[in-house]
Every structure is written in structure tokens, then in C-alpha cells.
Amino acid sequence: MKYLKSLSLGALATLAVLAVVGASAASASAPKAEVTPPATFPVPFTGHGGATSLEATDGHQTACTSITISGGTISGSTAENVIITFHGCSAFSGFVSCNSSGQPSGTVVTTPLHAILVYLETGTNKKGLLLKPMVGTHIMTLNCGGTSIAVHGEVLAELVEKTETEYTLHFRRLTNRHPSPALYLNPTGCGHVSTTEALKATGTGGFTPFATSPAGLEGTATITLSAQEKLTGAGCS
């Protein structure tokens, strides 16, 4: 069977907060999170989400039933040591469970991640998080019925402020299986950079080895901060 059921990095739900994607003359102001006094950085956060998935453009998939998140914002521009744990993970239409090395069946854990706050669209102040490994390129490695799957690259999600202590991350895929939103504004201006092929999955051995393929995430996670933080930034014109 050739279809892994969406590699749920799930939500990679991960993280409300942050990081400037660079100021430039074209940008009205860089996006950032401002902590409410008397609180100061770092600001720890936790998170949770429901069913989430990752699907490669070649059709391979893996899915998880829920996720939990931990980490902290270290400044108005970045969050670090973000760990996302996926629960109830399976592949091959649910017939084979998946897990990271040293974890119980069905449990997958990311490497420590770094989050950067970016603008997603010109003409709006819509914001997102660009997530990438703090060290190296691997986001996670998991085993599904003998098939070893390595996920590497970076992930983009829309970040929505519900209150100053609660945020929502939205990971979406387009019908062609590419991430949506698939673009973010680069650090030196308002031009967009594509992440369509930034996240990749490679499977070897076991049931269904498969070549490296672009992948996209789908899912939603809620992030709860231990102190109030307000997102600011008017966007790029």
C-alpha cells in the first residue's frame, strides 16, 4: 500500500509567537509580539490540537489524532525550544502505528524548533509563523511499520490572535497538496518567498520506501501563553 496517512506533524501547532521577518523601506513596520508589563521575556507557552496530518505530493500520508506543545518566546521576534508531541499516529490507512525512537507506539516528537514571525500577504497585517529546526534540517524522524520517515525543512502556518494569552495556528493544504498559505514576506522587503517545496519527507525500508517529496501540513492548534503578549505591525504595502 503506497499511501501513508498524513504525517501529522500536526499542527505543528506549535506556537504562538514569533519573530521579525525583517524591516525594510517597503514595510510599514516589522511584525512583533510585545509583552505586557510587568511581565518580561522569556514567556513560556503550552498548546494542544486535534487531528492533524502531513501529506506528500506523491500521495504518501501519515495522521495523528492530537498534539501537545511546549516552548517559549524569548523576545518579540522569536520563540525557541518548541517541542511538538503527536499522539495516536498511524500510517497505511491506520493499520500501522508510528513512533519516534524511544517513544511509545503512536507517539512522535519533533526536534527543538525555532519560530519566526512573518507577514503572509502584502496589503494586510496577516501574520504567520515560519518554523524550522534549531539545529540541522530534520524536524522529526519516525518509524511506521519498519518504514523510516525523515521530515526536514520548514513549515509555515497562519497565526491568529484570539486574546493576548491565546493564539491559534492554522496549517492548511491546497487541493494540489501544497501548503497554504505557501508564501511569506522575505526579511529584506515585501517580496514573497515560496515554501511550497520547503518541507520534504523521505521514507526508506519497511512497507513502502519512497523518494523525497514536497509535503504539506493540515491542522489547527491552540497556544496558551503564561503572560500577555500583543501582536503588532501594520503589514507591508
- Cα–Cα distance, 211 to 156 (Å, whole number): 22
Contact 55, 180 (CB under 8 A): no
Looking at the predicted structure, is the pLDDT value of residue 38 above 80? yes
Length of the chain: 237
3-state DSSP assignment of residue 25: coil
Q: Rounded to an integer, what distance in angstroms lies between the CA atom of residue 23 and that of residue 14?
A: 24
Q: Are the CB atoms for 216 and 54 separated by under 8 Å?
A: yes
Instruction: Answer with the residue of higher pLDDT: 163 or 30.
Output: 163
- Of the candidates 69, 210, 192, 61, the one whose C-alpha atom is nearest the C-alpha of residue 131 is 69
The C-alpha atoms of residue 80 and residue 167 are separated, in whole angstroms, by 16
Find which of 124-128, 137-141, 205-209, 212-216 is predicted with most confidence, using mean pLDDT.
137-141
The pLDDT confidence band at residue 107, using thresholds 50, 70 and 90, is: very high
Q: What cell was used for 79?
A: 520563540
For the segment 48-90, what is each residue's pLDDT rounded down to a tens digit? 999 998 777 677 788 999 999 999 999 998 999 999 999 999 9
CA 82 vs. chain centroid, Å, equals 10
Q: Is the pTM of this model over 0.85?
A: no
- Of 103 and 172, which is predicted with more confidence? 103
Query: Which cell is 60 given?
Result: 504518501
**Residue that is written with C-alpha cell 493540515 in the block:** 218
At residue 129, the 3 state secondary structure works out as: strand
